[in-house]
């Protein structure tokens, strides 16, 4: 039994939820999102809460049960509050700045990296060494953060590179003579 799946998703105030077959749509102050629930899982809207149940007790249906409930919960949180990821840049001369609708990254390469910001995502650079990514779709916010981090991930010797805020970088000792 899925402990996550058993709990119904309460629809926050100011958010309208509709269930049409296998599609769950939520509309709130930040925008509108939808999610198509897999066919092995049933979804229903009752008393201002969206409940997700498996159609049978197969392993696949039970696996998708908790996942589908989490996706619906992310819709509710995204259209009401939104999601945010923070990145930190460490290293001499490493910095980020907004250049129009693109993020300009100087990460120690011979050229600057221009990252085109996808639709629905907002990127802010409060300091040259901080990047804040926000949006209503949790998956897209995380994907954009991962793509930016991928340009120069943190290295274990000096800790230089792009890392998530609060991420611990396991440090290694250098060579001995």
**The CATH number of 83-164 is which of 3.40.600.10, 3.40.50.150, 3.90.930.12, 3.40.50.1240?**
3.90.930.12
Q: pLDDT digits over 143-169, tens only?
A: 999 999 999 999 999 989 999 999 999
Sign of the Cα torsion 106, 112, 113, 119 reads positive
Domain locations in the chain as residue ranges:
3-80, 83-164
What does 97-126 look like in DSSP terms, one character per residue?
Answer: EEETTEEEEE-SSSS-EEEEPPTTEEEE-S
Task: With H, G, I as helix, E, B as strand and everything else as coil, classify residue 31.
Answer: coil
Query: Is the confidence at residue 3, as pLDDT, over 80?
Result: no
Superfamily (CATH H level) for 3-80: Ribosomal protein L6 (3.90.930.12)
| Exposed e or buried b per residue across 132-168, where buried means at least 16 C-beta atoms within 10 angstroms of its C-beta | bbbbbbbebbeebbeebbeebebeeeeebbbbeeeee
Fold match flag (3-80 vs 83-164): yes
The predicted structure's pLDDT at residue 118: 93
Provide the mean pLDDT of the chain: 92
Q: pLDDT digits over 44-83, tens only?
A: 988 889 999 999 988 999 889 989 999 999 999 999 999 9
The predicted structure's pLDDT at residue 4: 78
Q: pLDDT digits over 91-129, tens only?
A: 999 999 999 899 999 999 999 999 999 999 999 999 999
The predicted structure's pLDDT at residue 2: 61
User: If phi over 0 gives left and psi between -120 and 50 gives alpha, with beta otherwise, what is residue 145?
Assistant: alpha
Query: Please, what is the end-to-end C-alpha distance for the chain in angstroms?
Result: 57
The predicted structure's pLDDT at residue 89: 95
């Amino acid at each position: 039994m899925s402990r996550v799946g058993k709990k119904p998703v309460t629809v926050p105030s100011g958010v309208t939820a509709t269930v049409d077959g296998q599609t769950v749509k939520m509309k709130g102050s930040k925008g509108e999102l939808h999610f198509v629930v897999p066919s092995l899982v049933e979804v229903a809207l009752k008393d201002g809460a969206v409940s997700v149940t498996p159609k049978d007790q197969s392993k696949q249906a039970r696996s998708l049960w908790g996942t589908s409930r989490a996706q619906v919960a992310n819709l509710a949180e995204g259209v009401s509050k939104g999601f945010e990821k923070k990145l930190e840049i460490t290293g001499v001369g490493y910095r980020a700045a907004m250049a129009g609708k693109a993020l300009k990254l100087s990460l120690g390469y011979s050229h600057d990296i221009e990252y085109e910001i996808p639709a629905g995502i907002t990127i802010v650079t409060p300091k040259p060494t901080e990047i804040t990514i926000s949006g209503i779709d949790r998956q897209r916010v995380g994907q954009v953060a991962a793509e930016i981090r991928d340009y120069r991930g943190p290295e274990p010797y000096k800790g230089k590179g792009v890392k998530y805020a609060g991420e611990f970088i396991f440090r290694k000792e250098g060579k001995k003579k």
